Amino acid sequence: MNVMNDRNKNIIDEFRTNGGRVGGPFAGKTLLLLHTKGAKSKQERINPVAYVCDGERYVVIASKGGAPTNPDWYYNIIADPLVTVEVATEKFQMRATIVKEPERTRLYDKMVEMMPGFDEYRRKTTRVIPVIMLTRVK
């Protein structure tokens, strides 16, 4: 297991042990576990992701810390937008949609208000960082 997978596993374990709360850089922040199917492997992948609410919808940012490429989970939701999400102690299905401008910028700015580090991520990269809207499947 590589360092990123190891770190994610530790965050996932802490999240599930503490009803959705974790320490470290995510302490006091909203965090969800995003379950996707690998675009190529079709195997389940779980990634801890910061989110902000927009009404009843959840907004996540494919920032990858400002890296020049999108995170793997972004390509997974492009391949299959039906995802499962864990928030606190709840688990439910949601549909992922890539947000277009001008809504993308409004929602990205909303995330920056909650977690200012996201502002640095967009300055570190030349790519337009995708914003994803998660809507609960009824």
Where are the domains positioned within the chain? 3-136
Query: Which band of pLDDT confidence, cut at 50, 70 and 90, is reported for residue 27?
Result: confident
Q: Residue 4's pLDDT is what? A: 54
The pTM of the full predicted model, rounded to 2 decimals, is: 0.92
Residues above pLDDT 70, as percent of the chain = 96
Diameter of the chain measured on Cα atoms: 39
CB 113 within 8 A of CB 60: no
Residue type, 31: L
- Band (59; pLDDT cuts 50, 70, 90): very high
Mean pLDDT of 1-22: 81
The class of domain 3-136 in CATH terms is mainly beta
The sign of the torsion formed by the CA atoms of 27, 120, 60, 46 equals negative
Report the Cα–Cα distance between both ends of the chain, in Å, rounded. 36
HSE (side-chain half, CA atoms, 13 Å) at 129: 26
